[in-house]
A and B are shown apart, each in its own frame.
Chain A
Amino acid sequence: MSEIIMRVENLTKKFPVSGGKFLTACDNISFDVRKGETVGIVGESGCGKTTLLKSIMNMQRPTSGKIIFHGEDITKLTGEAKRQNYRHIQMVFQDPTAAFNPKMKIRDIICEPLINFDLISSREVDSKARELLTQVELPADFVDRYPNNMSGGQRQRVAIARALALEPEIIACDEATSALDVSVQDTIIKLLVKLQREKGITYIFICHDMALVSLFSHRIAVMYLGNMMEKIDGDKLDSAKHPYTKALLKAVFSTDQEKNQYIGILPGEIPSPLDIPTGCPFQNRCEYCQDLCKQKKPDLREVEPNHFVACHYKCN
């Protein structure tokens, strides 16, 4: 297994809301990110995936906890040190249309990060942009285009090129393929994998498509209401133990009608994050819920090597 390049330790993020209450978006999240691997983070909307990503990107300061990167806690960084840290962690957004300034040409979009960090002179912009476009398998002539002259898949490639410009160690993808058609999604994922193999890039990949995450991630973290429910290797997802992970897997429709026989419906809705029950957050939708689950919140425990589950029922 490769070296750990980032370590998230007991990360908690609370947002104050009216009435002196707090909304806990991330509750005591810990995980490791290894070099050249993909960590997939899945969960329903409102489970804290994006809050977690924003903390990793250092766009907001967590309430407590640490993010260790390059041997230091990046949540404590300020000023120029914080700015320099952005070089190593870049981001690809969900909507490639909204991620660009429509009045900038592709050349300037791609090279803006390099200019910001004074890494190239304006004379080098054109050749650098062409080089990056070639890496993401787009024609180099696209440097003269504007974002609105391109298709969604092409724009997402430009977004990837921009993220690559600073040669980051980690690229965080927030639902980077959700807005794309499946065949385009397929080509974008293949491109990401190719870049990962060539450059050893690490991805933190947020996604709500269980099937895609299972095929693309080395490690998968399942979140529910701000809590980490299960951590498992991507190729071992079949042996997931947590009732919530199982419910997510059972809710995925397949083109294979035989697999569709096992479609299971998880009843109820995700509770409001302002009103998380004491005990296990998943208790009101879980078929195995016992008295203990209503009183005590289960800890994340290692049930097999590299497989962590937070469930009273499944750990005993």
Chain B
Amino acid sequence: MLLDVKNLAVSYGKNPKPTIEGVTFDLDDGEILAIVGESGSGKTTVIRAILNVLPGGGHVSSGEMTFDGQNLLTLDEKGWRNLRGEKISMIFQDSGNMMNPVHTIGKQFVEYIRVHSDLDKKSAWEMAIDKLELMNLPNPETILNSYTFELSGGMRQRVGIAMAITFQPKLLLADEPTSALDVTTQAQIVGELMFITRGANASMIIVTHNLGVASYISDKLIVMSGGKVVESGKTQEIIQNPQHEYTKTLLASVPEIGGRRYV
């Protein structure tokens, strides 16, 4: 088992009421897990807790998390540095926002590679080019010499994914990776994410509000509402035969081509 989360609860600041509680799931090598739910249901908090990057005074208040035999809750800062970016990495909703707009993409990519390895600048640059090519980005040299705002949303997202997979992490955490994109670009990126994780036998947790994407990409599904898991299990079983009322409502409100028309 790659990741085992038991009864996870996260609180923010001194607020005694946890934002999420009782979150339990596990993930094997090569499995893709999707977390769906509405805004404010705590989806993002779950994956941020796994990487210990909770914002603004957020902390795990109870529960257990084990990754690859390692207890994540007792890790020190040095342990986290070894884990983040190399074994677990994260893809954000808009990868352009996580980068510095006044430095070129190449400078930041090379810096990222060199923090996590002993490569010199030249080989780090070549490694960056390799990774961009893997994401089907044309003219990787030009992209490395560009600033984030010079790229389209889809290209920025591919750069973000290229960075996240640089060290072939065992676990990818993707936070709404396609929500800011057009449908055609979304289909491209979802296809690429699936190809990469399956190809490297890596695992992925994808947070999304798009149930179609979740259904397409994931093996397992967690449905969250109000900070609690209301339903979890195999994706297709849940989608074909939802048990919880909330899941039923959610599935019924997804617009489908050829579905019941409103007019």
Contacts and interface: CB of A to CB of B under 8 A. Distances in A.
Contact of A257 (B191, B213, B216, B251): B216
B239 interface: yes
A265 interface: yes
Nearest to B182: A44
Contacts of B39: 152, 181
A118 interface: no
A254 interface: yes
Contact of B253 (A183, A193, A264, A269): A183
B262 A190 contact: yes
A161 interface: no
Contact of B256 (A45, A181, A217, A255): A255
B54 to A, nearest CB: 23
A182 B187 contact: no
A248 interface: yes
A114 B186 CA distance: 42
Interface stretch (A2-10, A23-31, A99-107, A232-240): A232-240
B260 interface: yes
Interface stretch (A12-20, A204-212, A298-306): A204-212
Contacts of B191: 263, 265
A212 B183 CA distance: 12
Given A238-B258, A251-B186, A263-B216, A185 B211 contact: no
Contacts of B251: 255
B263 A218 contact: yes
A214 B209 contact: no
Q: Chain A's interface: helix, strand, loop or mixed, by majority?
A: helix
A216 B190 CA distance: 26
A207 B153 CA distance: 18
B155 interface: yes
B253 A253 contact: no
Interface string A173-186: 00000000111111
Given A183-B253, A255-B239, A44 B184 contact: yes
Nearest to B180: A45
B38 interface: yes
Contact of B261 (A235, A259, A260, A269): A235
A251 B236 CA distance: 20
Contact of B257 (A44, A247, A254): A254
A255 B260 contact: no
A266 B187 contact: yes
A234 B261 contact: yes
B183 A216 contact: no
Contacts of A211: 254-257, 259
A85 B236 CA distance: 52
B154 interface: yes
A267 B136 CA distance: 10
Nearest to A183: B253
Size category of the A interface is 35 or more
A208 B257 contact: no
A260 B188 contact: no
A253 B188 CA distance: 12
Interface residues of B, number: 39
B184 A255 contact: no
Q: Name the residue in B183, B185, B209, B212 with the highest tally of chain A Cβ atoms < 10 Å from its Cβ.
A: B183
A255 B242 CA distance: 12
Interface string B233-263: 0001001000000000111111111111111
Contacts of B186: 251, 253
Interface in A254-297: 254-257, 259-260, 263-267, 269
Nearest to A45: B182
B52 interface: no
Contacts of B260: 215
A263 B187 contact: yes
B97 interface: no
A36 to B, nearest CB: 10
A44 B191 CA distance: 19
Contacts of A259: 256-257
A38 B263 contact: yes
Nearest to A178: B179
A208 B254 contact: no
Contacts of A257: 215-216, 236, 239
Contact of A182 (B182, B188, B190, B254): B254
Top 6 nearest A-B pairs (CB, nearest first) are A253-B212, A186-B253, A251-B187, A181-B38, A211-B255, A44-B182
25 contacts: A44-B182, A44-B184, A181-B38, A181-B39, A181-B209, A183-B249, A186-B253, A193-B262, A209-B183, A210-B183, A210-B257, A211-B257, A212-B255, A215-B256, A215-B260, A218-B263, A251-B187, A253-B190, A253-B215, A253-B216, A255-B256, A259-B256, A260-B212, A265-B184, A266-B188
Interface of B: 38-39, 152-155, 182-188, 190-191, 209-213, 215-216, 236, 239, 249-263
Given A251-B184, A253-B215, A254-B215, 16 more contacts: A45-B182, A181-B38, A182-B209, A182-B253, A182-B254, A211-B259, A215-B259, A216-B262, A218-B263, A253-B216, A254-B212, A255-B254, A257-B236, A264-B187, A267-B188, A269-B154
